[in-house]
Structure 1
Amino acid sequence: MRPRPARTRPMPMQPWFADAKLGIFVHYGIYAVDGVPESWSFYTGQVSHEQYMRQLDGFTAARYAPRSWARLFARAGARYAVLTARHHDGVALWDTAQGDLSVARRTPAGRDLIGPYAQALREEGLKVGLYYSHSDWNHPDYASVVHPQPPMPDVSTSRWVVPADGRQDPAAWQRYLAYRDAQVAELVTRFRPDLLWFDGEWERSEEQWGLDALAAAILAGNPETVLNARMLSHGDYATPEQGIPVEPPPGPWELCLTVNDSWGFQHGDHHHKSVSRLVRYFTETIGAGGNLLLDVGPREDGTITPEQTARLEGLGAWIRAHSDAVHGTVAGLPPGHHYGPSTLSADRRTLYLVCFDAPREAVSVRGLRNRVRRVSVVGTGTELGHDVTGGLHEVPGVTWIDAPPAGDVDRHATVLAVELDGELDLYRGTGRS
């Protein structure tokens, strides 16, 4: 993960993104036919390129029902979704005019899959996100130049990335950029995504990618488009993967996380995270000021597995029961004040404390200068007693909140609403020397 760069766009970050809290990432493509890793399986030699591309013949999207997807995502509590319009393998999910490598022209699916997806999301009130890889390991002009400062060895050695004879071909690279820019323009003009989620940026420098011109073109088409950090200096937010950062990135950010261990559908991957674990990831992420972009991988026919469906619905049920602690909140207490994540109401007058385990005697909050007006259990409304012990001069005592009754304990995570006498005021000092 790279530090979030400064934005150069003329407009501020779109407010919907910060309050979305949950998005759904969808890795859908021909790789679901054999259930192999998306694009990477031929890049690393797990399968031959020929075998990988034969999956075009088996991709049917026979049961693709984007309205069912959108309804499921809404039940999960998501406010947006991001679909892989084109991964590193170069196979487009729409009928692109830039060559014939698309599911519309080269697979039995035989149609555009992006338009119905965008329409279905909007019908459910969800924002539309599209993933697009800067890199295309199938394009004849892609392996034509070399990164001037390769961030990892294979960027300067892979036959899918650099010219085999070492001779750079700037003209070929310009043809590739024209192809990429034209495809992105198709996505912007045809589907008007609210968010564009780029990838593959590590294989070239920002100057080589021509990101100044690309960002200008995207924002000219829709100035409100949100861009992720893989647009480098033009990115609006950071995108750590598969693990909550110990130190959250500055500014807006989003954790992309798989429900099991794979981005796309893989037949043998049954290592699904439990609903309780997903609630932990979710609350720890929003408690640190980020969004969770939770990934599912549909089968080649377009259906999402029962295991992944159940987890989305389980997470959504928890979010609905605790919506006050989710939407309309900002990052909560810094580490050290409470044993667990927390969020804070937008007016900064209500703290929401997340407790993963059933509290035994009491829940403590340290460093709270405010007087507590009331504490209740989110979802049931049960009021809890509280008191303060200790404290000396400027150092506040510890606020103790009575443990909720067993009937008020949520099996995934219990949330306590702590109403304060004013805006949150925390002591962050080291105590009396």
Structure 2
Amino acid sequence: MAERGSPLPSHRGTDPMPMQPWFPDAKLGIFLHYGIYAVDGVPESWAFYHGQVPHEQYMRQLDEFTASAYDPRAWAELFARVGARYTVLTARHHDGVALWDTEHGDLNVVRHTPAGRDLVAGYAEALREHGLKVGLYYSHSDWNHPDYASVVHPDAPNEDVATNPLVAPKDGIEDPEAWARYVAYRDGQVGELVARFRPDLLWFDGEWERSEEQWGMRRLAEQILAGNPDTVLNARMLSYGDYATPEQGVPLLPPDGPWELCLTVNDSWGYQHGDHNQKSVRQLVRYFTETIGMGGNLLLAVGPREDGTIPAEQVERLEGLGDWIARHSEAVYGTIAGLPAGHHYGPSTLSADRRTLHLVCFDPPRESVSLRGLRTPVKRVRVVGTGTELGHRTVGGLGEVPGVLWIDAPEGADVDERATVLAVELDGELDLYRGTGRD
């Protein structure tokens, strides 16, 4: 992953295409940072970039990467069971170590690790067997490639990009021929991913180290879409991305267009032995509902060990989130962004026909739940997951300013300790008052 903010996408260059309909309704994806960095449990690629460990020590992890318990069908079964609709696997991170037997470059787990086999093919096959969309992460940058540090970013976003010897050429002396070789290598590997595995989504990273022109983004996007025109591309294809990818925190305002929040279950993208700071299920439910309430997807990252097993404490969190989703699925799938801030104290979603609001209450409601600015008459209110109907009444209002809808608080078994959801069924499509009130 990157260590900076993400740009917003505009469109696919000069030939915009609509977003694939499966993506905005997916709601939950799983992000798998899996690679040799799990052997020592160090930050993926960044460990040697920042000098946390010497480069030679980092690369010695190749000798102990076994994938001995790698079972992509078990992954797929788990992810489908918890309600995810897509998964993204790090096919190649910034360290340049490919998880498939690439013909472009020699650095891959098939030839240089005890794993000795392609780890992408089985993953893609297993996901499709379970009805999940296949996503692959690929870094534009490769800090191990001999031709990578050969040109200078014309407008470097930070000092590292301008001076780090893994990124910038020595003394700033450029070698355009070396850079052309690197881009051909990058394009060749991406072409292999598209041709061999036909991913539904390509999740790029590393784009901040070069300009759009240097990357040849237009040519790359055309190559990908020629191989599979339905491929979804993230914003790190710059002008050719389909959706935004904020990281590690729900934005205060949603990005324009489709988007997803990339979030770790603990504090690390990949497996790190000493990171036990796992988020609770309640926290994950909060992140999830706040994200879908603003129209985004949650891409939740877990870090498999080097043998391919996912730590039990992360499986437990996924299953807890999945249990909540299963109970409240009507408020998740087939919905769009809910109410703007100020109408309800918590996130909400709206059914696709705009006739049912789903109000999320993180804490057990006391006495009543209020909903402000609702013009559409209410047919009934019920608790999602149990069906219990709740009393409700509208109080106040003057002229065009509607009164406040007060809903009786659910009690007992109708209260979910992680988050309670109330379905407000409307007598017509949602109509909100957004004015300043009577002068």
Equivalent of 2:261, from 255, 262, 268? Answer: 255
Contact kept? 1:275, 1:412, Cα under 8 Å: yes
Q: Indicate the SS of the match to 1:431.
A: coil
Aligned to 1:161: 167
CA displacement, residues 246-285 of structure 1 (integer Å, 9 cap, x when unaligned): 0110100000000000000000000000000000000000
1:129 and 1:123 mapped to 2: Cα distance?
A: 14
CA displacement, residues 118-165 of structure 1 (integer Å, 9 cap, x when unaligned): 000000000000000000000000000011001111110101000122
Equivalent of 2:349, from 343, 349, 369? Answer: 343
Name the amino acid aligned to 2:399: H
Equivalent of 1:215, from 214, 221, 245? Answer: 221
| 1:59 maps to 2:65 | yes
Aligned to 2:393: 387
2:16 and 2:165 mapped to 1: Cα distance?
A: 39
Name the amino acid aligned to 2:436: T
After TM superposition, give the deviation of residue 59 of structure 1 in Å.
0.2
TM-score, normalization by structure 1: 0.99
1:84 and 1:55 mapped to 2: Cα distance?
A: 17
2:12 and 2:326 mapped to 1: Cα distance?
A: 34
2:395 and 2:26 mapped to 1: Cα distance?
A: 38
Equivalent of 2:12, from 1, 7, 15? Answer: 7
2:168 and 2:124 mapped to 1: Cα distance?
A: 35
| 1:303 maps to 2:309 | yes
1:276 and 1:225 mapped to 2: Cα distance?
A: 33
1:167 and 1:407 mapped to 2: Cα distance?
A: 69
Q: Indicate the SS of the match to 2:122.
A: helix
Aligned to 1:235: 241
1:123 and 1:3 mapped to 2: Cα distance?
A: 33
Between 338-347 and 145-154, report the one with greater CA deviation.
145-154
Equivalent of 1:198, from 204, 223, 230? Answer: 204
1:86 and 1:76 mapped to 2: Cα distance?
A: 26
Contact kept? 1:363, 1:403, Cα under 8 Å: yes
After TM superposition, give the deviation of residue 432 of structure 1 in Å.
1.1
Aligned to 1:81: 87
After TM superposition, give the deviation of residue 327 of structure 1 in Å.
0.2
Q: Which runs of 5+ in 1 are unaligned?
A: none
Question: Which runs of structure 2 are paired with 1:102-251 in the superposition (5 Å)?
Answer: 102-251=108-257
2:28 and 2:270 mapped to 1: Cα distance?
A: 19
CA displacement, residues 86-117 of structure 1 (integer Å, 9 cap, x when unaligned): 00000000000112200000000000000000
After TM superposition, give the deviation of residue 3 of structure 1 in Å.
2.5
TM-score, normalization by structure 2: 0.98
Contact kept? 1:147, 1:204, Cα under 8 Å: yes
Equivalent of 1:32, from 29, 38, 44? Answer: 38
| 1:354 maps to 2:360 | yes
2:200 and 2:328 mapped to 1: Cα distance?
A: 27
| Identical-residue share of aligned pairs (%) | 78
2:389 and 2:236 mapped to 1: Cα distance?
A: 46
Contact kept? 1:11, 1:223, Cα under 8 Å: no
Please tell me the root mean square deviation across aligned C-alpha atoms, in Å: 0.6
Aligned to 1:428: 434
Q: Indicate the SS of the match to 2:25.
A: helix
CA displacement, residues 395-424 of structure 1 (integer Å, 9 cap, x when unaligned): 000000000122100010000000001000
Q: Indicate the SS of the match to 2:402.
A: coil
1:392 and 1:176 mapped to 2: Cα distance?
A: 67
1:225 and 1:157 mapped to 2: Cα distance?
A: 35
Contact kept? 1:2, 1:238, Cα under 8 Å: yes
Q: Indicate the SS of the match to 2:88.
A: strand
Equivalent of 1:290, from 296, 299, 303? Answer: 296
Name the amino acid aligned to 2:11: A
Contact kept? 2:11, 2:17, Cα under 8 Å: no
Q: Indicate the SS of the match to 1:376.
A: strand
Contact kept? 2:338, 2:350, Cα under 8 Å: yes
After TM superposition, give the deviation of residue 10 of structure 1 in Å.
4.6
1:4 and 1:403 mapped to 2: Cα distance?
A: 42
State the aligned residue count: 433
| 1:265 maps to 2:271 | yes
After TM superposition, give the deviation of residue 7 of structure 1 in Å.
3.1
Name the amino acid aligned to 2:9: R
Between 325-334 and 399-408, report the one with greater CA deviation.
399-408
Contact kept? 2:9, 2:240, Cα under 8 Å: no
Contact kept? 1:11, 1:224, Cα under 8 Å: no
Q: Indicate the SS of the match to 1:31.
A: helix
1:4 and 1:234 mapped to 2: Cα distance?
A: 7
Name the amino acid aligned to 2:186: R
Aligned to 2:327: 321
Between 139-148 and 162-171, report the one with greater CA deviation.
162-171
